[in-house]
Each structure stands twice: as C-alpha cells, then as structure tokens.
Structure 1
C-alpha cells in the first residue's frame, strides 16, 4: 500500500513539474514533455486499474493420491479477459504448514506483456505421509517503470493425500493358518461352480443367475442352486495414536508404526482376508472388516491422515471396540507401549478366547527387563507377540513361521 501511494505521488509530482515548466518556459519542447508525461500518467492509471480487474487465477494438481516419497506437479494459470501491456507479475505459492520447514514457498516471476493466459508448473518433491491443503495464492504486479506495485490474495484450495509406503510381506499367519471358524460372510459366489452343493425348489425372490437350468429342464419345476457359505479370515487392526505413548520417543517411530500397519493391511488385502481399522485421534475411527478396492482406499485414507495426537486411553479403546466383533476376528495391535493397562487388556482378551497379535514397535537399542517380562506374560496368555525395532523394519519380510 505504501508503494502504491508512493508511486502515485511521484507521478503527480512529475506531471505538475512538467506542466509548470511548460507554462513558464513555453515552446514545443516543454509542452511535448508535458504531454508525454500526461500520456505516461494515463498509462500508469490504466495499469493500476486493470492489473487485477479481470485477472483469474486457478491451480491444478496432477493427482490427489500419492505415496510417501513421490512428487506432486502443480500447475498455476493466470487468465485475463482482454490484453493490456502490463509489466510483471510475481506469483507466490505458500506451502502447507507441515512442508514449510522442508521447502521454500515457490516464487515465479512472469512478464505477461500482451498475453491473455500465462501458465507455469512447479514440483513439490519427496512428500512425506500426510493430508495436505494448498490454499491461497499471492499475486503481485507492477508496471514497466517501477512506479506502482499491487498485491492481491486469491483464495484457492487443493487437497491431496500422501499414503504411507507399504512393504511386501510374504508371510503372516494372521489366523494361525486356518479360517476364522465361526465367521462366515453373507455373500455367495454365484458363478463359482465348486461352491454349489446341491439344488432346491425355486423360491420367490431367487435371482435368475441362481437357477439350475439343467435340473429345471427335467420337468420337475424350477430348481435353484444351493451354495456353500465361504469362510474367511477377518483381521481388525488397532493403531495406537495415544500422544503420551510417543512422548520422548524417536520422531520416526510413529511413522514406522503407520507403515507397518499399511504393510499388514496390504498383506491381508492381497490374501483376500476381510480387514478393518480402529483408532481414535480426535474422533473415533472404526471401519468394520470388508474386502474391496474401495475399502482398501478407505483404510489407507485414514492411515494418511492419522497423527499421534490421541488423548483417550489406548487400552480402553481396545477393550471397548473388541466387544463389537465376534470371537473369530483376529485382533492385530500396533503399539509402542507395554504399560500395565495395555498388557492387562490384551491378556484378558486372549484368556477369553480372542486371537490377539501384538506388534510392539520401539526405538531403544536394548529391551528393558520390565518390557521382557511384559512380553513373556503376554506370550504365556497365548498372545502372539512380535517385537520390531526401528532399524529392523526395512528388512522386514516375514512375520512368524519358519
């Protein structure tokens, strides 16, 4: 604003000085200087008025779902309804708060001249996991001679998620190598011939694809196929996001816990298990077990957003959520804590016949005696325990088994 007022005052002073000079001096040269200044003044006035009068700024991103470590390509476009010989534009693209400490805001100097549309691209490299928003865009502009300068903020919004990277785990006996016994799914594979166990009389409401045409052709009326129920493993993942459990720990420990959860989810999805996800940061997130592509992205959306900011007791969350699922569901718990509440809760669930898998993530070079005792207590109560150090995750391929 000060720059604008200063530029206007300089132009006004220049115009007054040339006018006074022409009035007292007279002659062609002095009046030519005045009219040249007057033309120059009108140009500056138009440049000031039209700089943002019809300017439209838009931003596009090449995708809104990325993986940890990938880069994002951002395209910014500046459009005007009509051409006018403007001087320059400086576009500043602020970064989200989580990226502000990693990279500098992007600045692009543009000389539009007579162009009605200007476009440029820039890259945000090596994005860490998280949920990000690109918001306002700052555009500054000025004339050719440096007399005026204006700045305007354009309210834009582009959201994108960066998923955690997942390792290819080759082995994990989530259900002890067996299906989950009493757990059955309601859907039937109508096109699977091996799943047909017999035929029965047609009932109103049966689908056309379920009719056994060969049996019906024998003249005994319409017959419908009877299918076997398909039993599947079901895994419910509990990710510890309690803030106190990560206080004083290595800053990458939580990221490793999220990556481990993503790797286990990928394994269960590839194995055609049904899987769910539970955590509580500010709000309760409880995704019941299912298996589909949309379900996979639904879980990974939460893994991209989650942060270690939970305030509720993780042990209480496990106990409350586990009651909502039947016995055959495997409970996979990812936590850095082996405090008494967590250990007691997991041992109690195992004693009640629940299949519990504990993944204890830690960054300490040595395991303390109380932590060893906690793991031994859980193992004695038939909790499957796996200790994963921060440095061991990169080499992790198999979980359990020979």
Structure 2
C-alpha cells in the first residue's frame, strides 16, 4: 500500500506538469498574440526540465561513508564524511542528502546536522562532512543515505534511498579513579597482593616437611609409611578473583552514571592487574568470570556500551552463578536501588565473598529519599558496606571504602 501511494504521488506530479503544459499551449492557441505565446515559451523550459528530471534514474547515484572518529565515548564528538557519486552529469538543482539512522531519538541530538542542501549542477561527485556533538552511549546504526531532488518550482520531487550500513558504538565515558584492593582495610594497614592465591587441591606438585596447621588431608601418607616422617603435599597455586563487580541493570535516574562507574572500576582494576570478574543483571545479563587481558576488557566494554535498562523483575539474580564466581574475593555492587530483594539475590551467589561493598549512585545536591535511606540502613545491618556516591565523587570512591 505504501509503495502504491508513492507511485501514485510521483505519477500524479507528472500528470500535473503535463496539465500545465497543455493549459499553456491551449491558451496560446486560442488567445493568440505575442503575450500568450511569450508565456508559453517562457514556461516551456521549466516543463521540459521537470519531465527530464522525472525520467532521470536516481538509482545510478552511489554513496560512500567514512567514520572519521575511531572511538567515541559518551558525550564525545562523531565526525563522518560522506561522498555521493554518479556517472551521468544531468544538471541537478535542489538536492537534499540526509543520513538515516535506525534510532530515531538520535535526531534530537543531531539537530538537523544530518541533512544538507546542495546545488549539484553538472558535477559527478559531491563530498560532505558533518559532526555530531555529545553522542549518547549505545549502539547506533546508520541504515543508509536518502537523496531527494526537486525541480525549480517543486512540481517534480523524487527520492532514492541508498542502503549503506555502518554501526557506531559509543562507549561509556570512563573516569580516572584510584583503585586499591578493598581487602587492604582488613590487613591492619599492610598492603596485600592484588591477587588472591588459593590452593588447587586436585593437583599435587610435590611434598615438604609437615608444619603445624597443615590439614590432615594434605599429609602424604605413603611417604610417612616409608620414612616415619610427616610430610605434607604441595599443591599448585591458582589465582582467584580479587574483585567481582555486579551491575544492577534496573532503570534509574542515574543509569548512565552507573555504567560510567562500572567501566571506570573495570579499567583501573585491569590496569592494576587485579583478578576481576563482572556480572550484569537484567534481560541483557552477561557474565565475564575473569578479566585480565586488554581483549577481555574490550569485550566487557562493548557489553557496557550496548546495555539498556531492564524492568525490575529481570534484574533479580535468579540464575545460579556460584560455579562461575566461586573464588570471589571482594564484591562491589553498583546500583541506585539497594533494596533487600536485589541484595539477597546477590548474597546467595557469593557465599564465599570476603566483603560486599555497595556503591549507590545518587544525583548531586539531591537529598536521599526516605525509601532509599531505609534500604541503606537495612543493607548495613546485614553486614554490607554501603557508600552513596555522586558522579563527582567517582575519582575518590575507593578512598572512602578503605578509610571507612
């Protein structure tokens, strides 16, 4: 039906032009005289151009797009170059070239910068570069380029869509913050290793002399029977997660700030060579049990770039993640709703955690709501360390934890 209306509109315009031509010709024939024929000959070139424009094949026009900005963070600038080419130099007058994005909301950000009027003339190619300030975080898809041409008076209008797909991934903005292992506050001021080392008791690598405190199950009984000396098995040391970050995917006023905080913590912890895991809740939940390399961190960053808020029920951790995060050291929750239903679902999955810290992201100069304050008091009574943070406090987030 839509295609039928489009064809009816195009052919209707041609019929309108032909009616104008016939009317002018009939008027000149019956009226006669210099003035009537002068009007006819004056309007004839415009009618001829309109008919020629109607017959001109816009499908021969091609387009090329180059994304000039290699990586864009939330609120950053995107620079795009567009080149339109054709083979036949038909004189095009009013030509409007516009970019078509899959996300219609991006039009509010661009404010008309994705559309430009050209007088093409006889040129075979035209280049155009535009900038979009303050790109929002997310995966934005450019579907193609639309070309619209018109004659002198708008009698004939034609549109042609050129499929040209590009995906622009806008990453969360990351804040430089000072990361320090949270467990340092439990070591009486002495800094522990950024890695939590545990024994893999499934793989013995040798034996040593027995020391007080060694488990009975570690005693090498065959050696004792042979030498009558207690010897203890030595096991392979295996690094475990020093930190597990859990992101609350429920909608909130500070959702973008939460994403920024999560990305910043992961970046700094990875640079600090800490064993770190990440879990996001919601419909787009994802697990990254161990993040150490730059490539692994990049995968998490892509996930954080695409993540969108889920409904409240989907954010509750219903899946059992205890096998994936069995060696968690400290746990950081990033949320704006530290209600007990969510916290309880977290605790059931991190039963062996040394400590649980909840970063509750709030707006600056906004007093805590009574419900939020009650949730924070309840969480603290359950042994969870809760810290309310504004975006401006992100750089010192861990200082507040360590000195609390």
TM-score (norm 1): 0.73
Residue 161 (structure 2) pairs with residue 160 (structure 1): no
Structure 1 contact 131–160 (Cα < 8 Å) conserved: yes
Residue 98 (structure 2) pairs with residue 82 (structure 1): no
Distance 2:280 2:289 in 1: 12
**Displacement after TM superposition at 1:182 (Å):** 1.0
Match of 1:202 in 2: none
**Displacement after TM superposition at 1:278 (Å):** 1.6
Q: Deviations over 1:90-138 (max 9, x none)?
A: 1233453332333434321111111111111111101122221222433
Within the candidate set 49, 52, 56, 2:58 is matched to 52
Structure 1 contact 88–112 (Cα < 8 Å) conserved: yes
Structure 2 contact 326–352 (Cα < 8 Å) conserved: no
**Higher mean C-alpha displacement, 107-116 vs 62-71:** 62-71
Within the candidate set 62, 72, 79, 2:78 is matched to 72
**Displacement after TM superposition at 1:365 (Å):** 1.6
Structure 1: which 5+ runs fail to align? 185-227
SS in 2 for 1:157: strand
Q: Deviations over 1:148-182 (max 9, x none)?
A: 22123333322111111112121322454332121
**Displacement after TM superposition at 1:304 (Å):** 0.9
- In structure 2, the CA distance between the partners of 1:232 and 1:20, relative to structure 1 (3 Å rule), is same
- In structure 2, the CA distance between the partners of 1:342 and 1:7, relative to structure 1 (3 Å rule), is closer
Match of 1:126 in 2: 134
Match of 1:9 in 2: 16
Match of 2:374 in 1: 370
Match of 1:104 in 2: 111
Distance 2:150 2:282 in 1: 47
Distance 1:332 1:321 in 2: 15
**Displacement after TM superposition at 1:387 (Å):** 1.0
Distance 2:152 2:159 in 1: 16
- In structure 2, the CA distance between the partners of 1:378 and 1:263, relative to structure 1 (3 Å rule), is farther
Match of 2:336 in 1: 336
Distance 2:96 2:39 in 1: 32
Match of 1:289 in 2: 290
**Displacement after TM superposition at 1:42 (Å):** 4.5
Distance 1:109 1:173 in 2: 56
Match of 1:254 in 2: 255
SS in 2 for 1:255: helix
**Displacement after TM superposition at 1:287 (Å):** 1.9
SS in 2 for 1:118: strand
Give the strand-richer structure, 1 or 2. 2
**Displacement after TM superposition at 1:139 (Å):** 1.9
Q: Deviations over 1:164-223 (max 9, x none)?
A: 111212132245433212178xxxxxxxxxxxxxxxxxxxxxxxxxxxxxxxxxxxxxxx
Q: RMSD in angstroms over aligned alpha carbons?
A: 3.5
**Higher mean C-alpha displacement, 134-143 vs 111-120:** 134-143
Structure 1 contact 18–33 (Cα < 8 Å) conserved: no
- In structure 2, the CA distance between the partners of 1:38 and 1:361, relative to structure 1 (3 Å rule), is closer
Distance 1:51 1:112 in 2: 15
SS in 2 for 1:396: helix
Match of 2:5 in 1: none
Structure 2 contact 79–132 (Cα < 8 Å) conserved: yes
Structure 2 contact 175–395 (Cα < 8 Å) conserved: no
Distance 2:90 2:138 in 1: 42
Residue 165 (structure 2) pairs with residue 150 (structure 1): no
**Displacement after TM superposition at 1:33 (Å):** 8.5
| Paired residues for 1:18-33 under 5 Å | 18=25, 21=28
Residue correspondences, number: 346
Structure 1 contact 57–79 (Cα < 8 Å) conserved: yes
**Displacement after TM superposition at 1:281 (Å):** 3.2
**Displacement after TM superposition at 1:7 (Å):** 5.4
